[in-house]
Chain A
């Protein structure tokens, strides 16, 4: 049954995964996201770009309701995941977050062992029936995050003892381990060296075959390399959302153009 669904998905690549309609986000009186309407396709990498403070993280956090944890934050509008409103009263955010995983802007490993960091998600969601299965999940997740070779000999060492970039990859491994349907990544490569960045980009490309990935990035090159769709945010507005090639070669909005050229040139 699972397989059937997979093949079904593979055929229909343009199927919408997340549909956001007129989303507004307020932090108290601060109107941080204004009227954002965006469609995120399944098995696609969507990049959010824009200047610092424009609301990329805020919008990303709406997609798995992490904003619920901020008391002053208020979200309006509609966000549908597979045609179900995630802000519906019947939705348990805990269940939603199992489907929509997240890698945060700052690496935040648990102060536990590397193994426990990765194994935690599968454990609480009951994804492994045995210790060997769990070991397998941990290994594949760490491999996909390009961290396995560096940590395979010290899985019991604390995750907080890793370097910043390693911690970030650990967090990626941790998010991947729960096999989410959508993976939200907030600047996952900001602390990584070029080699690790390339590995993570490879991972993102690989993940695309099964999940849809939303990535926030400040690197235009990265957005251009890994994403199929790009959304440009400016001062809380979604200025332009289109195919990545179009955004980077022929943007419609002058703001997009000046941002991209300003950054690149």
Chain B
């Protein structure tokens, strides 16, 4: 009996050593260790996946930043230029001029008699005459005399990157094994070389048969313009909405309803916003198709809920005592919000905005619906007028390239993904830096 009472009153601690863990502590520690292990496993799996993804993209895509070029001496007199411009088939004339340069270069390399000039011309990209024409059009002083670096054919480029082999060339109508051997000879003679390709970032998208000439210039500008539209619209509208809902609006059934709707909007599939944009901005408001303006508007609609939710959360997290302090001093609601609450909420708002922008940057589906999927061969002009010019966007460009049959586009799609990821990385770094500047503790 006396034992039982002694057991039920643990008030007097038994003499136990601090050096020995008792059972409860052991169990709790074990649970903690297990939890840590789960966490580490999850992180490990995540990081592995990320590494696999990034390395596969990098291994496939990095080569798109390098391209095979043929360097030729080119001379164009003014008479030749005018004749070429006057003729019906302009590029044909320019092709002749390139051929002249190629013959010259082969002769100096003492390869003139060994190869057929037709085979050799076949090594060049179909884009070469057009490039020469652009240079001639921009030229001021005649004659134009210059070492020109022309793009090599995509197959030749693939040969130097290990994608095209002799066996493949055997079956390919657009390249022959002899031509590949020839290009090896040219490479040995220093006429052909693989080097950094700025054109991948600056050129417009090429035709499906000229992967070597395809670049991201238009897509990059399109994405940039759209981000500008989204930032200029979604940030102020989103922040203003959040401030109103959080700080000024009465809490009643209507604001509850709005809140629920905003949360639901954040979960609406993006393609629905595309349909909405098509109906409202293009069919109803009559804005042009394929324009970054319309894309930006659609993405703004899509991004707004994200920004509003993030902004409201960060406004909510500002301690109410700060508001009391300002109001107690006789600050108005607006002064309270703009002088005290908003600066404290800024890091959260920034994070939300960047998440929204990143989402918008990677969005493809709604852009397909509003016609940003076209093959655009002209750069959009500078904003604001350029906002209505046709353009594509980086993720759409990835999509377009992956749907093309030429295997050279696989490399370019991966390259575009790298550019997209770099874009995102820069945005995130900017966000982190900005947040550091704004961040304050209280």
Interface, chain A (partner B; CB < 8 A): 64, 66, 69, 71, 94-98, 101-102, 104, 106, 108-111, 120-121, 124-125, 158, 160, 171, 174-175, 178
Q: Are A124 and B344 in contact (CB under 8 A)?
A: no
**Additional A-B contact list (12), CB under 8 Å, known A101-B328, A110-B340:** A94-B331, A97-B330, A98-B329, A102-B328, A108-B321, A108-B324, A111-B344, A111-B441, A124-B329, A124-B330, A124-B335, A160-B441
Q: Are B339 and A120 in contact (CB under 8 A)?
A: yes
Inter-chain contacts of A178 with B (CB < 8 A)? 329-330
Q: Are A109 and B325 in contact (CB under 8 A)?
A: yes
Interface, chain B (partner A; CB < 8 A): 250-251, 319, 321-332, 335, 339-340, 344, 440-442
- Bound complex: CA A175 to CA B323 (Å): 14
Known A-B contacts A110-B340, A160-B441; A121 and B325 likewise in contact (beta carbons under 8 Å):
no
- Bound complex: CA A121 to CA B331 (Å): 8
Question: Closest residue of chain A to B251, judged by CB?
Answer: A71
Inter-chain contacts of A66 with B (CB < 8 A)? 324, 327-328
- Bound complex: CA A97 to CA B335 (Å): 14
Least CB distance from B131 to A in Å reads: 58
Known A-B contacts A71-B251, A124-B335, A160-B442; A110 and B330 likewise in contact (beta carbons under 8 Å):
no
Known A-B contacts A94-B331, A98-B330; A104 and B325 likewise in contact (beta carbons under 8 Å):
yes
Residue from A106, A120, A124, A174 in contact with B321 in the complex, judged by beta carbons closer than 8 Å: A106
Inter-chain contacts of B321 with A (CB < 8 A)? 104, 106, 108
Inter-chain contacts of A69 with B (CB < 8 A)? 323-324, 327
- Bound complex: CA A95 to CA B283 (Å): 52
Inter-chain contacts of A101 with B (CB < 8 A)? 328-330
Question: Closest residue of chain A to B440, judged by CB?
Answer: A111
Q: Are B335 and A104 in contact (CB under 8 A)?
A: no
Between A and B, 12 residue pairs with Cβ closer than 8 Å are: A66-B327, A97-B328, A104-B324, A104-B325, A108-B319, A111-B322, A111-B440, A111-B442, A124-B329, A125-B330, A174-B329, A178-B329
Inter-chain contacts of B324 with A (CB < 8 A)? 66, 69, 104, 108
Least CB distance from A41 to B in Å reads: 23
Q: Are B332 and A171 in contact (CB under 8 A)?
A: no
Residue from B325, B327, B441 in contact with A171 in the complex, judged by beta carbons closer than 8 Å: B325
Q: Are B330 and A95 in contact (CB under 8 A)?
A: yes
Inter-chain contacts of A64 with B (CB < 8 A)? 328
Residue of B325, B329, B344 with highest tally of chain A CB at under 10 A: B329
Q: Are B328 and A104 in contact (CB under 8 A)?
A: yes
Q: Are A121 and B322 in contact (CB under 8 A)?
A: no
Inter-chain contacts of B330 with A (CB < 8 A)? 94-98, 101, 121, 124-125, 178
Q: Are A97 and B322 in contact (CB under 8 A)?
A: no
- Bound complex: CA A98 to CA B325 (Å): 12
Q: Are B328 and A124 in contact (CB under 8 A)?
A: no
Inter-chain contacts of B328 with A (CB < 8 A)? 64, 66, 97, 101-102, 104, 175
Complex A-B, nearest 3 residue pairs according to Cβ-Cβ distance, in ascending order: A98-B330, A108-B321, A111-B442
Q: Are A121 and B442 in contact (CB under 8 A)?
A: no
Residue of A109, A120, A171 with highest tally of chain B CB at under 10 A: A120
